[in-house]
Amino acid sequence: MFYLSQVEQNLKMPPHLLKPSLLDGELEKGIRGELEKRFLDKVITNLGLCISVYDIQSFEGGFIFPGDDGCATYKVRCRLVMFQPFVGEVIVGKIESCDEFGLQVSLGFFSDIRIPERFMVQPCHRGEDGIWVWQFKVDNEEFQYSLDIDEEIRFRVASVKYPPTPVEQSENSEPFSPMEITGYINGDGLGLVSWW
Amino acid sequence: MKIEKANVGNLTNFEVFDFLRTRGATSDPMGCIGSVSPSECKVFEYLSGSPACMQTRESVNEFLIKADKFKFITSFEKLNIVNSTPTVMPALYATIKDCDKRIAKEEEQIAKENQLEEDQLQELLELVKEIFPQPAEEQEELSQ
């Protein structure tokens, strides 16, 4: 689910952050703070969601370029903890909502996980209250297992997509999600954790 | 921004949990203001609810060394198993892709195919249960 990524960034340190750091000898802390502001909780295309700054390997520079409002630019090399599950990974999440297309699962820190109807346990249908129900038949007996909201669900990652940022968005459209994970639950051991 | 190396190394959930814990994250969302950001707190909260919170560095290393003898699983699958610690056979099936087909293919020449598959998987499951005990099961037994 997580991996380390090494990046190099030209970081502009504003003077009000620089002064206390330099005096205390804690420039690294100041740089770390700026890195976190820059990367934390942001999605980097093809890398994933940045969870945390793991460490700062080196920084150099500190030159003040003209027209920069007095910001000192440092070239920082650091490692970031990225969240990007690999295809085929099994993850446990909570069902956040369901609609006619399928389920939406959330991990707390990441919610753009969809399980479309074609990837759900078959056969299943959507009940009157909107909840998806799995009809499981064994020896002429039929069991109904419903996929309720807030239930823990184990799914396997089918794909991770990074849709391009839309240039214009109409008012009623859904908020843009920069990283979308599609999962499937039609397999042994997958589906609600309570089923197995 | 320049990406020097996209993937320096995979991290198990336990390693991320440990890293956040050393940075000062706690299960109490109000307690970690100041040392870690709210989004890091959310990740910590998620990992506290997963099997990763019960693991130790030694147990993960032990598992990886002992699981080496199972030649049919790849390192990604070992990562999958460490992160999800399956306790029942169907959960283990879920972590290993096309496991039936793969084991049957390797042991094609040998007569008792089916028995060998299950034996190996059963052994793997026992190893997981031995190294990563499940406290949730104990609680259930207590309540019953």
What pLDDT is stored for residue B114 in this prediction? 46
Q: How far apart are CA B117 and CA B104, in angstroms?
A: 7
- Chain A residues with CB-CB distance to B5 below 8 A: 5-6
- Most trustworthy range by pLDDT among A72-86, A164-178, B21-35, B102-116: A72-86
Interchain CB contact of A52 with B (< 8 Å):
yes
Inter-chain touch A8–B43, beta carbons under 8 Å: no
pLDDT band, very low/low/confident/very high, at A6 (cuts 50, 70, 90): very high
What pLDDT is stored for residue B142 in this prediction? 44
The residues that bridge with A99 in the sheet, in sequence order, are A102
Q: Which residue has the tokens 């610690």?
A: B85
- The mean-pLDDT minimum among A103-107, A137-141, A151-155 falls in A137-141
ipTM summary value: 0.82
By C-alpha distance, the chain A residue nearest B81 is A90
Q: Are A135 and A124 in contact (CB under 8 A)?
A: yes
Smallest CA–CA distance, residue A107 to chain B, in Å, is: 7
* Successive 10-residue mean pLDDT values, chain B, 144 residues: 85 88 74 74 86 85 85 82 84 73 52 57 84 60 44
Q: How many CB atoms lie within 10 A of CB B46?
A: 22
Q: How far apart are CA A153 and CA A192, in angstroms?
A: 4
The Cβ-side half-sphere exposure at B4, using a 13 Å CA radius, reads 14
Q: How far apart are CA B23 and CA B35, in angstroms?
A: 7
What pLDDT is stored for residue A78 in this prediction? 92
A116-121 CB contacts, 8 Å cutoff, 24+ apart: A116/A182, A119/A158, A119/A182, A119/A183, A119/A184, A119/A185, A119/A186, A120/A147, A120/A184, A120/A185, A120/A186, A121/A185, A121/A186, A121/A190, A121/A191
- Chain A residues with CB-CB distance to B46 below 8 A: 107-109
For residue A123, give the DSSP letter.
S
pTM above 0.90, yes or no: no
Amino acid present at A82: M
Q: How far apart are CA B95 and CA B78, in angstroms?
A: 9
